């Protein structure tokens, strides 16, 4: 556990990518496979489910630290994070113990807690706390609270594993996809030379685009690019191998069962096919609002009614595997041609469910710009620009794929509530609720937390503390004084919201210190945008 806790601390201490990769590679090169397997599992975000309710953890920690509940609350308020609060409060262990390796902590101490009753869990936690201190206790508490996050992307873990094991990055990335158990055998296989081990269900790593700043002219000749509409759905891979079908989300969740109509269509694909696309709620050749899809996602049981109301398609973007062969290294123009042939050859029941992502005619950048300007009318978020020569890469990479999103809606709103943030901002008020005018009244309509600089956040935080009207748990009502310019992507009517509207991806553009609350926008303006 010590070496893993040290790794965690090292990763936490630096913001330099190269140092993170160095620290990871050092760890992987020296860790035992049974520990390294768990480390990979946690580092790429496959965190364990919360095993013990937070309230109970807090109770046991108070008991052990000898502090009353009000003092625990004060401490939690100052620290912001439960796992860290507990770590700082617990008395250091009275004696140095032998270091138990990570896999034993996980397999012998953590996982068995699932089957324990409350008394058993309490005993297990007290036992662990009596043995651990400092960074190890912190990592343990993070694992227990299910909030283990360390700020390394999967790409970095892949890079470090590839370096430590002397294997190329795409191979490691692919082997980390899909379902696997963190066993020493799995870890050893990550570095194996034989690549025929591919599990039939395993998706490829997704290639993600960077946002294009400014116009596309910097990309060179428009003729070398393919433009497509950018939609807001669920990015997914559809796999048909060895008589089975699998649908994976970008978050590497297996979602086959949530989309039975897509699973049926996938069954009509030839064996050894993998498609990359976007799941969209779709009716009469056009997408429905994302909120419709959310209605489906939330449900455990999909009745006939919802299936009829919100039918979905996989809009096919790309072809990754053809006749059992990984074709990601082929250029996009080749993959697109094969994709078109493939879709055309499918029976109607499948082409309706797996339509091709339409190509936006782009004779020159002028035509592309024209299309871009019309994106919102089609309920599209903008354009995707993909270099026709590009292979299908791994992870988020610059250069070959760009997303060019339409300018957001903006308006000025007044801050009315403030709430503490999470993670590194847990001790600051960083999450704000904003209101606009409706007659003489301010109606809350959006919550946003990103967009300010650290210095501004500190200023706003200090202001919030001085100008609170009321405190409800972590939320404070503040004097309606501060005005912010907000941006958001879409607006919809929503009877569930007091304001009657719901906005998508609201974020703070800037703090309008030059504006008084009276100058903020009104609900009518928002509704105007909705209709406009």
Partner 1 sequence: MLLRVSDRGMYCEAGDFFIDPWLPVDRAVITHAHGDHARWGCRRYLGSREGERVMRTRLGHDARIDTLEWGEVRDVRGVRVSLHPAGHILGSAQVRVERGGQVWVVSGDYKTEPDPTCTPFEPVRCHTFVTESTFGLPIYRWRPQAEVFAQIDAWWRGNQEAGRASLLFGYALGKAQRMLAGVDPTIGPIFAHGAALKLNQDYRDGGIPLPPADNPMGAPKGFDWSRALVIAPPSANGTPWMRRFGPVSAAFASGWMSIRGARRRRGVDRGFVLSDHVDWPSLLSSIEATGAECVWVTHGYREPVVRWLREHGIQALAVASRWEGDEGLGMGDEGADSPAEETTSD
Residues that bind partner 1 (CB under 8 A): 12-15, 65, 67-68, 70-71, 74-75, 78-81, 84-85, 88-89, 92, 423-428, 454, 458, 461-462, 465-466, 468
Say if residues 478 and 467 touch (Cβ distance below 8 Å).
yes
Please give the backbone phi and psi of residue 223, each rounded to the nearest 5 degrees, phi first: -65, -15
Strand partners for 491: 503
Instruction: Report, in Å, the least distance between residue 70 CB and partner 1.
Output: 7
Instruction: Report, in Å, the least distance between residue 497 CB and partner 1.
Output: 31
241 vs 272: CA distance, rounded Å: 5
233 vs 490: CA distance, rounded Å: 14
Run of H or E including 273: strand 273-283
SS3 of residue 283 by DSSP: strand
For residue 105, the tally of other CB atoms under 10 A from its CB is 23
Instruction: Report, in Å, the least distance between residue 160 CB and partner 1.
Output: 18
Residue closest to 509 by CA, chosen among 425, 417, 411: 411
Strand partners for 235: 278
Residue closest to 328 by CA, chosen among 385, 275, 263: 275
Burial of 388 (0-12, 13-18, 19+ CB in 10 A): middle
Strand partners for 514: none
Comparing CB distances to partner 1, the nearer of 65 and 527 is 65
The owner of tokens 């507990």 is 86
419 vs 433: CA distance, rounded Å: 8
Instruction: Report, in Å, the least distance between residue 458 CB and partner 1.
Output: 5
Residue closest to 292 by CA, chosen among 232, 251, 246, 236: 232
491 vs 95: CA distance, rounded Å: 59
Say if residues 448 and 485 touch (Cβ distance below 8 Å).
no
CA atoms within 13 A on the CB side of 381: 18
The owner of tokens 């699998």 is 246
Say if residues 183 and 37 touch (Cβ distance below 8 Å).
yes
Run of H or E including 509: strand 507-511
Comparing CB distances to partner 1, the nearer of 75 and 167 is 75
39 vs 8: CA distance, rounded Å: 10
129 vs 58: CA distance, rounded Å: 13
The owner of tokens 């991806």 is 505
């Amino acid at each position: 556990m010590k070496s893993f806790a040290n790794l965690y601390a090292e990763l936490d201490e630096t913001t330099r990518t190269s140092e993170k990769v160095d620290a990871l590679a050092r760890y992987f090169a020296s860790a035992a496979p049974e520990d390294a397997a768990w480390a990979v599992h946690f580092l790429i975000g496959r965190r364990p489910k919360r095993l013990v309710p937070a309230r109970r953890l807090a109770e046991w920690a108070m008991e052990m630290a000898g502090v009353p509940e009000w003092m625990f609350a004060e401490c939690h308020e100052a620290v912001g994070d439960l796992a860290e609060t507990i770590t700082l409060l617990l008395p250091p262990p009275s004696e140095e113990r032998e270091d138990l390796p990570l896999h034993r902590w996980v397999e012998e101490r953590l996982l068995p807690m699932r089957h324990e009753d409350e008394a058993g869990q309490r005993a297990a936690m007290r036992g662990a706390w009596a043995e651990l201190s400092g960074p190890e206790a912190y990592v343990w508490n993070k694992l227990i609270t299910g909030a283990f996050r360390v700020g390394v992307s999967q790409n970095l873990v892949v890079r470090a594993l590839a370096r430590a094991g002397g294997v190329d990055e795409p191979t490691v990335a692919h082997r980390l996809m899909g379902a696997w158990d963190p066993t020493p055998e799995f870890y050893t296989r990550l570095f194996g030379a034989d690549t025929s081990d591919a599990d039939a269900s395993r998706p490829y790593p997704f290639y993600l685009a960077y946002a294009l700043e400014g116009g596309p002219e910097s990309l060179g000749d428009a003729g070398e690019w393919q433009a497509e509409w950018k939609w807001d759905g669920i990015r997914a891979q559809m796999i048909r191998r060895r008589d089975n079908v699998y649908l994976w989300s970008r978050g590497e969740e297996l979602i086959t069962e949530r989309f039975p109509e897509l699973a049926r269509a996938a069954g009509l694909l030839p064996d050894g096919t993998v498609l990359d696309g976007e799941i969209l709620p779709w009716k009469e050749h056009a997408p429905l609002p994302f909120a419709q899809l959310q209605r489906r996602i939330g449900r455990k049981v999909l009745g006939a009614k919802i299936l009829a109301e919100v039918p979905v398609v996989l809009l096919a973007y790309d072809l990754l595997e053809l006749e059992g062969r990984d074709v990601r290294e082929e250029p996009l123009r080749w993959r697109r041609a094969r994709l078109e042939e493939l879709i055309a050859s499918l029976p109607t029941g499948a082409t309706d469910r797996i339509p091709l992502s339409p190509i936006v005619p782009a004779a020159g950048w002028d035509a592309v710009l024209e299309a871009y300007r019309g994106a919102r009318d089609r309920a599209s978020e903008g354009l995707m620009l993909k270099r026709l020569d590009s292979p299908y890469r791994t992870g988020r990479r610059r250069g070959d794929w760009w997303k060019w999103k339409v300018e957001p809606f903006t308006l000025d709103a007044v801050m009315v509530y403030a709430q503490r943030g999470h993670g590194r901002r847990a001790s600051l008020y960083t999450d704000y609720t904003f209101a606009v005018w409706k007659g003489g009244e301010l109606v809350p309509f959006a919550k946003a937390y990103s967009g300010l600089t650290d210095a501004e956040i500190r200023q706003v935080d200090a202001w919030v503390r001085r100008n609170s009207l009321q405190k409800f748990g972590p939320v404070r009502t503040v004097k309606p004084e501060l005005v912010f310019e907000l941006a958001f992507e879409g607006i919809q009517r929503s009877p569930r919201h007091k304001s009657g509207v719901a906005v998508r991806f609201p974020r703070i553009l800037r703090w309008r210190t030059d504006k008084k609350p009276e100058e903020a926008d009104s609900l009518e303006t928002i509704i105007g945008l909705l209709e406009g």
